[in-house]
Structure 1
Amino acid sequence: MDTNLIEEAKRYITKLFEGHSDGHDLNHSLRVYENAVKIAKEEHGCDMEAVALASLLHDVDDHKLFDTKDNANAAGFLKEHGVDAERITFIVSIINSVSFSKNKGKTPDTLEAKIVQDADRLDAMGAIGIARTFAYGGKNGRSLEESIEHFHDKLLLLKDGLNTETARKMAEERHRFLEEFLVHFEDENPLV
């Protein structure tokens, strides 16, 4: 694995996500990277560098944040750093398998894509997932109750859609925490 390229990707996303604080930010991408590396170490036989790069770059062309086409930011970064066209295509295919809304019900074709998709979904669960939901909701004018709908539309569905055994184990406590939070929220909120 080219550790210099990984460090360059970290510097790139640090600059690119400057000023973003809606849950799709630098720290989200770094957590996805950490989750992906942890899963990849347990799920043998994957291309660790592709997993690392795809996890770091998975949101650099997210339509909620950037007005790009054809993964222009991710592909541009990789090309600029000497990655060959075939490898760029592979890494971009991993990135394109991550989005929940675009890939609902689809299982990725490669182990690398399964790992990065799982890593991203884990960051939407547990305490971090709750915080991200309300950060995004607040930025986009959602009420607390509207943000709670997101739990039922997405967050509570994530556990059963994970691809790897490692991620499923990591998700158990996070999923329980989501369920417990909802119980407390409903107990404290007479409007629900």
Structure 2
Amino acid sequence: MNPEKIIENTIAFVKEELKGAEGGHDWFHIERVFKNTLLIAKEEQVDLFVVSLAALLHDIADPKFNNGNEKLGPKKAKDFLIAQKVSKEIGIHVVNIIKHLSFKNSLEEEKDKFTSKELEVVQDADRLDAIGAIGIARCFNYGGFKNRALYDPEVLPNLNMTKEEYKNSNAPTINHFYEKLFLLKDKMNTETGKKIAESRHQFMELYLKQFYDEWNGKL
């Protein structure tokens, strides 16, 4: 098993699988999460091969674009890792990270909660790409993809959503800042993640102030 070759093969596989994907969940999203993962991992005691594979494969079949199927992504990742002759132990760890990474899964109590330092690193890396300037761009890109309103003052954010409510929400895009994006800063696991999230969070607050000023016709 040559880790460098497997990472190279994984990158090629993901690029091919995500051809034509929605702009916020395409190869470039994966690449940014991969870079964030390597950055955070420098300060953490983690298996670099595991976090690299998990970062690259974490959105190989996002449920949002696969009729809500939460089993497809982990299965695709597992099949690929088996084909690459990755050890069973590493394969299980990577698939578990993929299964437990998403924000929506944090909205419900998990019966068999999986934890690892590697999960914490990749989770932070993924969440960092959901906030800040790129997070804002991704948020509106997905809102446009789903034909959602930018903002509706009559539709208030739902701050106590269940996982199912979150999955099925068609609320205006601005609501997503309150229902997810602003919550991520305090959900960071690592010190590096917390530090980066702080400045990105502040940028989003500044953006929304400007948004509301423009919406309300203020100078």
Task: Give the Cα–Cα distance (whole angstroms) in 2 for the partners of residues 162 and 116 of structure 1.
Answer: 11
Once the two structures are superposed, what CA deviation does each residue of 1:88-109 show, in whole Å capped at 9, x if it has no partner?
A: 1111111122100112487861
Structure 1 Cα separation of the partners of residues 66 and 85 of structure 2: 24
Which of these residues, 111, 120, 123, is aligned with residue 129 of structure 2? 123
> Normalized against structure 1, the TM-score is what?
0.93
Matched, 1:135 2:141: yes
1:155 matches 2:181 = yes
Supply the distance in 2 between the matched residues of 1:115 and 1:104 (Cα, whole angstroms).
Answer: 19
Runs of at least 5 residues in structure 2 that lack an aligned partner in the other structure: 152-171
Structure with larger Rg: 2
Please give the alpha-carbon distance, in whole angstroms, between the structure 2 residues aligned to 1:22 and 1:73. Answer: 21
Contact 1:40 1:115 (C-alpha < 8 Å) held by counterparts: yes
Supply the distance in 2 between the matched residues of 1:104 and 1:180 (Cα, whole angstroms).
27
Question: Residue 144 of structure 1 aligns to a residue in which SS?
Answer: coil
Aligned counterpart, 1:54? 54
Report SS of the residue matched to 2:65: coil
Percent identical residues? 44
Aligned-pair distance for 1:19? 0.4
1:89 equivalent in structure 2: 92
CA distance in 2: counterparts of 1:57 and 1:65, whole angstroms: 15
Aligned length: 190
Q: 2:203 matched to which residue of 1?
A: 177
Amino acid at match of 2:106: N
Q: Is residue 116 of structure 2 the alignment partner of residue 110 of structure 1?
A: yes
Mapped pair 1:8 → 2:9: yes
One-letter amino acid of the counterpart of residue 118, structure 2: E
Contact persistence 2:121–2:190 (CA under 8 A): yes
Moved more, 63-72 or 143-152: 63-72
Whether contact under 8 Å (1:22, 1:139) holds in the other structure is no
Deviation at 1:84, TM superposition (A): 2.6
136-145 or 64-73, which moves further after superposition?
A: 64-73
TM-score normalised by the chain length of structure 2: 0.82
Deviations 1:135-163 (A, max 9, x none): 10000011111100000000000000000
Aligned 1:32-51 pairs, distance under 5 A: 32-43=33-44, 45-51=45-51
Return the alpha-carbon distance in structure 1 between the equivalents of residues 79 and 195 of structure 2: 35
Alignment of 1:22-33 (within 5 A): 22-33=23-34
Q: Distance in 1 between matches of 2:213 and 2:147?
A: 24
Deviates more, 1:104-113 or 1:179-188: 104-113
